[in-house]
Amino acid sequence: MASSLESLLSSYGRPALVNSVLPALLDAISEIGTLLRESQNVTLAGTNNVFGDGQLNVDVSTENAMRKALAKCPSVLTASSEEDPIERPASDSQTKDAATTSEQYTVAFDPLDGSSIIAPNWTVGTIIGIWDGASALHQNPTEKQIASVLGVHGPRTTAVVALRIPGTKPILFELGINNGSQDYEIVRSDVKLAAPPFKTRYFAPANLRAAGEYEPYMRLITYFIEEKYTLRYIGGLVPDLVHALVKGHGVYVSPVTDKHKAKLRRLYELLPIALIMECAGGKAIDSATGEDILSRPLGDCNETGGLICGTAEDVDIVKKMLLS
């Protein structure tokens, strides 16, 4: 771990997390950035994930990079991914070793979020959640999901890291990562959404087609336009959220309707994102129910939900207009 990063996290009292797990995951994000830059031809790999969806060659290579990194961490008992949503031992040898350590974790990850926008060379991401114990299932997310990471693969490779360990002050910071090396630079040591009044207000409306048949969503889009919000929507979940964290303002809306069911997976996308947003001073709620995403334990790895997240004031506005 780079000395500056180690100094930033030294007070958290989790040596395995700080010196083993996080560095391994950051190395994996660096390797994924390199893999994407070297994958000039994005093609079907000839394999399907557990849902029967065809996998791209980059889906397979990035999944392997994450698995390889986690297998090196003795304190990681289990891991699961959106491509393989079953909590499995991180490695055969690690399970035995980790049982004797005071720190035990499970890691849930989406190795390549936004693979559908890779072909036009747009920014994509990696989403990671780190949980205390051997399983994320049936645990209180507010207490047991102690860290999350958003890796951003664009012109630069960066990572936004949140830690909320019980008994310590939550922290959210941004790192610059040099591809192909274990070299990290702290870009921002304290990432926060801004407080009102806002110079510019941003909105990112996912699944805009739903506005044509779901009148509350159409009203919401009209409200954003009339109130002179600025549209910033890439179509990749990670870059759209990180844009808000960089600018200090933004609200992301992924509605759920009768015709447009919830698709975002709670374990691999919603829960890590919610931790990031709360550590930034924002909110993250389910667009179908209005409940805080971190308020409900996870029943199984395949649960899905909708998403409204970002600046707290705007999340409240969206909730009222969509769900009142």
Q: Mapped to the 3 state alphabet, what secondary structure does 148-193 carry?
A: EEEEEECCCEEEEEEECCCCCCCEEEEEEECCCCCCEEEEECCCCC
Q: Is the pTM of this model over 0.85?
A: yes
Whether residue 225 lies inside any domain: the answer is yes
Is pLDDT above 90 for 97?
Answer: no
- Band of pLDDT at residue 43, cut at 50, 70 and 90: confident
Under a CB-based contact definition with an 8 Å cutoff, are residues 275 and 292 in contact?
no
In sequence order, what are the residues at sequence separation of 6 or more whose Cβ sits closer than 8 angstroms to the Cβ of residue 197?
Answer: none
What is the percent of the chain with per-residue pLDDT over 70, rounded to a whole number? 91
**288 and 145 together in one domain:** no
The answer, yes or no, to whether residue 3 has pLDDT greater than 70, is no
Alpha carbons 302 and 261: distance in angstroms, whole number: 14
Q: Is residue 294, in this structure, part of any structural domain at all?
A: yes
Closest C-alpha among 119, 120, 145 to residue 133: 145
H or E, element range at 69? helix 57-70
**279 lies in which domain range?**
202-323
Sorting pLDDT into bands at 50, 70 and 90, what band is 13? confident
The SS3 of residue 215 is helix
Same domain, 117 and 211: no
Enter the DSSP assignment of 292.
B
| 181 & 233 share domain | no
Say what the pLDDT of residue 221 is. 98
